[in-house]
């Protein structure tokens, strides 16, 4: 899999550890991100903070916003801003036939920091710069992968 002449499509193969690591971490992060919705729902019920009249349980009569709900929603939005580009750019990065050791470590680190990011943003908030470090680690990994893709496949 390490030849420079391998066609990009041929890298989408069960024998390519970079592809396998991408799929595993992309799906872990996808599931993690999806779980933000039920987490929001749990806090909405717990704190009786609903956004739509039709969602109100019988004993509740008013819509309201709640800081804990808004915090989870900000974490969810941050996930979309960062995990979704990571999913697409990561897939293209696999097609550049990167050094397997580097690529696999980048996927592992990016996946891990995004999980930690959620814990310390939405569940147990801790003081900065913890969250900023998690954010920028995945941020720069995604930028790095995008730049590598552009260098490898440049055609403007």
Q: Does 135 bind a copy of itself (CB under 8 A)?
A: yes
List binders of a copy of itself among 10-49 (CB under 8 A): 10-14, 17, 19-21, 23-28, 30-31, 33-34, 36-37
Binding-site size for a copy of itself (CB under 8 A) equals 63
Cα–Cα distance measured from residue 137 to residue 106, given in angstroms and rounded to the nearest whole number = 10
Collapsing DSSP to helix, strand or coil, 1 comes out as: coil
Cα–Cα distance measured from residue 112 to residue 120, given in angstroms and rounded to the nearest whole number = 12
Write each residue from 92 to 131 as x if it is in contact with a copy of itself (CB under 8 A), else as -, in one continuous string: x--x--------x---x----------------xxxx--x
Roughly what angle, to the nearest 10 degrees, separates helices 67-94 and 17-34?
160
Question: CA–CA distance from 147 to each of 54, 108, 153 (Å)?
Answer: 46, 19, 10
Cα–Cα distance measured from residue 140 to residue 156, given in angstroms and rounded to the nearest whole number = 23
List contacts with a copy of itself (CB under 8 A): 7-14, 17, 19-21, 23-28, 30-31, 33-34, 36-37, 51-55, 71, 74, 76, 80-82, 84-85, 87-89, 91-92, 95, 104, 108, 125-128, 131, 135, 139, 142-143, 146-147, 149-150, 152-156
């Amino acid at each position: 899999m390490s030849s420079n002449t391998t066609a990009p499509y041929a890298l989408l193969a069960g024998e390519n550890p970079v592809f396998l690591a991408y799929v595993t971490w992309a799906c872990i992060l996808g599931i993690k991100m999806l779980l933000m919705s039920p987490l929001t729902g749990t806090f909405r019920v717990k704190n009786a903070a609903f956004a739509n009249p039709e969602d109100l349980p019988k004993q509740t009569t008013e819509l309201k916003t709640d800081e804990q709900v808004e915090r989870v929603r900000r974490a969810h939005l941050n996930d979309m801003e960062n995990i979704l580009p990571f999913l697409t750019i990561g897939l293209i990065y696999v097609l550049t036939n990167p050094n397997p050791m580097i690529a696999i470590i980048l996927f592992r680190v990016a996946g891990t920091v995004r999980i930690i990011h959620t814990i310390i943003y939405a569940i147990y908030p801790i003081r900065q710069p913890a969250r900023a470090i998690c954010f920028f680690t995945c941020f720069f990994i995604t930028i790095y992968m995008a730049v590598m893709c552009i260098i490898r496949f440049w055609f403007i």
